[in-house]
Structures are given as structure tokens and as C-alpha cells.
Amino acid sequence: MLDADFFRRWMAATAASVDREAERLTQLDSPIGDADHGSNLHRGFAAVMAALETEAPDTPGAVLVLAGRQLISTVGGASGPLYGTLLRRTGKALGEAAEVGVEQFAAALRDGVEGVKKLGGAVAGDKTMIDALEPAVNALGDGFAAARQAAEQGAEATIPLQARKGRASYLGERSIGHQDPGATSSALLIAGLEAAAEG
Ligand code: ADP
Ligand code: MG
Ligand code: MG
């Protein structure tokens, strides 16, 4: 079973990897975006960690709803409302249980991904975070390591795609040949689950 501490560790692991990879995320956002993805997420996850410390939510759902709210209010870019919706919607689906099973979490995360698709209008293959998140959710039944691998493969598979959503889509065919920054940060988020499970 996964408790509030597990979800706190998930956010902490993601905040740490976003810190570590901020430069790379911003570099990926340079040729096909506006070179701010790393700094956007760095700011967002710093706010998430600060809020988790001051408000100390005590259920899995409350941790994720709070985290999502922080991302929406502190990340200026497109990714803030999208990641915020992902976490908030996932948290809402978990309800008020003190502990949740992995299957329940997988179903909730699927809800979250549906929320992102609805808000942003992207489907798989549009060269967005969905290209990492959707395969990860589909692989989650096989464990956190399988989900991480699926997300990483999904992020790499965005390289030959032409962007159809977000800033990168303005470039048309010139968006081909670059890895999507949001799919890359989504792989970091999913990798955080494995780190959280290791304690
Ligand atoms: P901005 O483009 O506003 O500067 P960021 O650089 O923080 O925002 O985030 C860019 C990422 O957001 C993209 O790489 C892509 O993965 C994701 N993204 C943008 N628009 C959408 C959308 N409509 N649906 C899903 N993901 C999107
Ligand atoms: Mg950007
Ligand atoms: Mg921007």
C-alpha cells in the first residue's frame, strides 16, 4: 500500500531530478520552444516542496491536490496548468483514503492523464508530455520500473515526430528531430515513483 509519505517522497524525488536536469530541460526547450522549461519546473517543484512542508497534508490525495495547485499557481508556462491538472486530478481520484493500492493509483493516474488530454487537446503522437505519460500509465500494472522505461522510451520516440500542440507546433516540420522537453520531464516524474518506492 502507498501512504502519504510515499507521495511526499515522489514529489521530493521529482523535485530533485528536475533540479539536476533543469539545464537539460531548458536546452531541449531552446530549439523548439522558448528555453524556459527547466526553470519553469524548477520554480514549480520548489513551491510544491515548500507547500508540502508548511501544510503537511496527511493523505495521498491531499498531497497530490496540494502539489497540483502549487504547479498551477507558480509555473507560468503551458506545462504548469497541464502538470497541475495531472496531479490534482490524480489526487482527487484517490479521495480521502489514508493508503491506496498500486492498482487504485494506476487508475487515478489514468484519470489524471485524461484530464491533461482534455485540457490541452493533445493525443499520443502530437509530441507532448502525453507521449511519455500515456505509455507509462499503460505499463504501470507491470510495476514502477516498467512505467519508467515506458516513459523514457516514449520521450525518446518524440524525436522524429512533428509537434501538433504547444509552442513547438508553430515550427511545423522544423520541430522534427528534437526531443520534446515536456515528454522528457514527464519521464523524470514517472522515474520519481521508482525512487519513492525504494524509500
Ligand atoms: P511554454 O511552452 O509555455 O514555455 P513549457 O516550456 O514549460 O511551457 O512546457 C512546454 C511543454 O509543455 C512541451 O514540451 C509539451 O510537452 C507540453 N505541452 C505544451 N502544450 C501542450 C498541450 N496542449 N498538451 C500537452 N502538453 C503540452
Ligand atoms: Mg517553454
Ligand atoms: Mg514559456
Pick the residue whose CA is nearest to atom 26 on ligand 1: 128
What confidence score (pLDDT) does residue 129 get?
98
What confidence score (pLDDT) does residue 197 get?
96
What confidence score (pLDDT) does residue 113 get?
98
27: domain range?
2-197
What confidence score (pLDDT) does residue 162 get?
98
In 10 A of CB 199, how many CB atoms? 7
ipTM tops the 0.95 cut: yes
What confidence score (pLDDT) does residue 199 get?
82
Lookup: cell for 115 = 484530464
Judged on CB neighbours under 10 Å (0-12, 13-18, 19+), 153 is middle
Backbone angles phi, psi at 110, to 5 degrees: -60, -40
Q: Is 100 in the pocket of ligand 1 (CB under 6 A)?
A: no
Distance from Cα 39 to the centre of ligand 1, integer Å? 13
Distance from Cα 78 to the centre of ligand 2, integer Å? 7
Q: Is 25 in the pocket of ligand 1 (CB under 6 A)?
A: no
Segments of the chain scoring below 50 in pLDDT:
none
What confidence score (pLDDT) does residue 54 get?
98
Report how many domains make up the chain. Answer: 1
Distance from Cα 127 to the centre of ligand 1, integer Å? 9
**Domain of residue 18, CATH code:** 1.25.40.340
Closest ligand 1 atom, CA of 40?
Answer: 7
Distance CA 180, CA 120 (A): 15
By three-state DSSP, how is residue 151 classified? helix
**CB burial readout 108-123, b (16+ within 10 A) else e:** bbbbbbbbbbeebebe
Q: Is 61 in the pocket of ligand 1 (CB under 6 A)?
A: no
What confidence score (pLDDT) does residue 76 get?
85
